[in-house]
Amino acid sequence: MNTDLVSCVVVGALGRMGQRICHLLATVPGFSLKGAVECPGNPCIGKSLTETLGVRDVAGCIVDDLAAITERFDVVIDFTFPEVSLKTATFCNRSGTAAVIGTTGFTVEQFQQLQELSAAFPCVCAPNMSVGVTVLFKLVNDVAQALRTGFDVEVVEMHHRHKKDAPSGTALRIAQILAQAYGWDLAQAGVYQRRGITGARRDAEIGIQSLRGGDVVGEHTVLFAGTGERLELVHRAYSRDCFAQGALTAARWVGAQPAGMYDMQDVLGLR
């Protein structure tokens, strides 16, 4: 891998995140956009990247298969859907190409399959690529360790009206961090909806609530509620560029790593 210039291909190039990543790859020094992939049947298949994405000085057309890209590239960046990302991982498993995957909504079985495939290539997979959220993950663990008794914890997330999965991958990751810090089983402790006569809140309970509306890029709040006091950790994303910039940071880092699964805490050295 050329450490001076990281060449990337974007899967899901016409999605909300894909478009922002493509534009950054085409304009940020040290990166190059070598290709773009969309799902078969998309009307933009075969059209130039300049025509479809408005990026200048980038050769090539949008294709429907990673294998159709003939130019050499270092990293695949994929913010799509679990089924698509598993196809990306299968390609990387066979070719040894590094990957950055920001897809959310994996089932337990799908994520296990992704982990198994990544044994043959370096892969950064995180539900949220922003630097701020990555630091939030660490803070959540630290606060949970400090407030182990006497505090109830709730996770609230809000996203735009078009988001297809709930809770968000970021909220689920926060809940997993909390459960691990407390020594709980999230399958038993997680409460995703309250309605009617629910009775008193259990001690070993992690509430995860989802709000949808408008054009909210992403907002996550973790509340630690004690007697007479409350501590809140909040992250608000005002632009998708924070996720796209994080993906580029991961793309520069991952190519120099041994095969295996990593996340953004690895990328930022927060382990």
Positive/negative CA dihedral, 111, 242, 36, 124: negative
Paired strand residues for 206:
153, 190
Q: Which residues are catalytic?
A: 159, 163
Task: Give the integer Cα–Cα distance in Å for 89 and 99.
Answer: 8
Cβ atoms of 66 and 9 within 8 Å: the answer is yes
Please give, one letter per residue, the 3-state secondary structure of 61-116: EEECCHHHCCCCCCEEEECCCHHHHHHHHHHHHHHCCEEEECCCCCCHHHHHHHHH
116-146 in b/e burial notation, b at 16+ Cβ within 10 A?
A: ebbebbbbbbbbbbbbebbbbbeebbebbee
